[in-house]
């Protein structure tokens, strides 16, 4: 992709956060990549050499247990970056999570050495990195809370809520089984909780589809 175009694209998503010179640097040093829906960007054990800045689309960050079961941690959207990859970059550590594109996604990869240099050079970058850390840490704590106290109904509610916000649509195209997998529970439990929500009038249930009414 042309450098000027890339710079404009980065500016669209990050113009409010970063100063011009930094965005120019990003366009020069960063590597544009198009990631198709369902593509796995990163798996546990892989060494990370760059951190992604999301331009469009969304990426799921998940934890995996010994049996290959997945647990959704959080989503990355336009304007986000992955706190895990920052962590790995700075400490030269390996990934402990899975990152998979939820839809067709565009990213800019920033190589490790630049991300370090910019911490000293650009105040906005430092703020961005620390803010990202902070908000992800918060999200992780929420996950811990909900798992520790087994509040499956609250977790499901949050899941639906997040999904509506993420997609900008009140129609969720997922099977109960898919939701169950992401929340690391059984399909039966999800079906029952969804049914309860439907009876309360918050949602309508169809095959492969959930219509969210009351939010």
Partner DNA sequence: ACATTAAGTGATT
Partner DNA sequence: AATCACTTAATGT
State residue 24 phi and psi, 5-degree precision. Answer: -60, -45
Nearer to DNA among residue 133 and residue 159 (C-beta): 159
Nearer to DNA among residue 9 and residue 176 (C-beta): 176
Summarize as ranges the residues that interact with DNA (CB under 7 A). Answer: 150-153, 175-177, 184-189, 191-195, 205, 207-209
| CB-based contact 118:11 (threshold 8 Å) | no
d(CA 61, CA 210): 23
We find the least distance from the C-beta atom of residue 110 to DNA, in angstroms, to be 38
Nearer to DNA among residue 20 and residue 196 (C-beta): 196
| CB-based contact 37:143 (threshold 8 Å) | no
d(CA 212, CA 168): 12
We find the least distance from the C-beta atom of residue 25 to DNA, in angstroms, to be 46
Nearer to DNA among residue 200 and residue 207 (C-beta): 207
Tokens of 85: 């990859």
d(CA 186, CA 179): 9
Q: What residues pair up with 204 in beta bridges, in sequence order?
A: 211
């Amino acid at each position: 992709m042309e450098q000027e175009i890339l710079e404009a694209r980065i500016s669209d998503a990050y113009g409010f956060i970063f100063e011009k010179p930094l965005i120019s640097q990003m366009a020069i040093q960063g590597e544009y990549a198009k990631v198709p829906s369902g593509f796995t960007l990163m798996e546990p054990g892989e060494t990370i050499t760059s951190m992604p800045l999301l331009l469009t689309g969304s990426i799921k960050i998940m934890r995996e247990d010994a049996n290959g079961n997945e647990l959704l941690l959080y989503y990355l959207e336009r304007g986000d970056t992955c706190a895990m990859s920052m962590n790995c970059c700075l400490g030269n550590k390996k990934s402990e999570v899975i990152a998979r594109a939820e839809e067709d996604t565009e990213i800019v990869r920033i190589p490790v050495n630049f991300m370090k240099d910019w911490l000293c050079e650009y105040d906005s970058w430092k703020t961005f990195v620390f803010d990202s850390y902070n908000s992800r840490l918060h999200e992780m704590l929420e996950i811990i809370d909900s798992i520790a106290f087994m509040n499956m109904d609250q977790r499901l509610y949050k899941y639906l809520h997040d999904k509506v916000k993420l997609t900008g649509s009140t129609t969720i195209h997922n099977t109960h089984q898919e939701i169950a997998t992401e929340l690391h529970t059984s399909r039966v439990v999800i079906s029952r909780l969804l049914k309860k929500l439907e009876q309360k009038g918050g949602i309508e249930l169809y095959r492969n589809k959930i219509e969210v009414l009351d939010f």
